[in-house]
Amino acid sequence: MSNHNELGVKGEIIALEYLEKKGYTILEINWRFKKTEVDIIAKEGKDLVIVEVKTRNNDLFGFPEESVGKEKQKNLAIATEEYLEQNNLSMDVRFDVISITMTGKTPKIFHIKDAFFPYD
């Protein structure tokens, strides 16, 4: 496994632990539809929360969350529609980004709720 992939896996584990501590119910991890992978699908209250996790060793080239572009947002929206249909769900959906920077001994976690609205 490349260092990039290892870093991503570490970030996803940190994000999962963070969400669980916040009371989220984790429904899926690394759920796939076609070429799109949804990092985390969770439930908070009555909302389905689609979480994109971005992890970096530092912020020298920008903050991790800045790398979730319009194309990724569109693909996540399409995958989410498929997930709702496959699971016969009708609920409000929120798209979050968890940005993790691995600086020092403690990772820096930045949770952006309603990070984007791909349907606009």
Task: Please indicate, yes or no, if residue 53 is contained in any of the structural domains.
Answer: yes
pLDDT recorded at residue 57: 81
**Is 47 domain-assigned?**
yes
Q: d(Cα 64, Cα 53) in Å, to the nearest integer?
A: 9
Taking the chain (120 residues) in runs of 10, the rounded mean pLDDT of each run is 74 96 98 96 97 84 76 94 96 95 88 85
Number of domains in the chain: 1
Q: Confirm whether 82 is domain-assigned.
A: yes
**How many C-beta atoms lie closer than 10 Å to residue 73's C-beta?**
19
pTM for the structure as a whole: 0.90
Cα torsion 97, 112, 81, 20: sign: positive
* Any domain includes 70: yes
For residue 102, the enclosing domain spans: 3-112
pLDDT at 60: 66
Domain harbouring 41, CATH code: 3.40.1350.10
Name the residue type at position 70. K
pLDDT of residue 119: 66
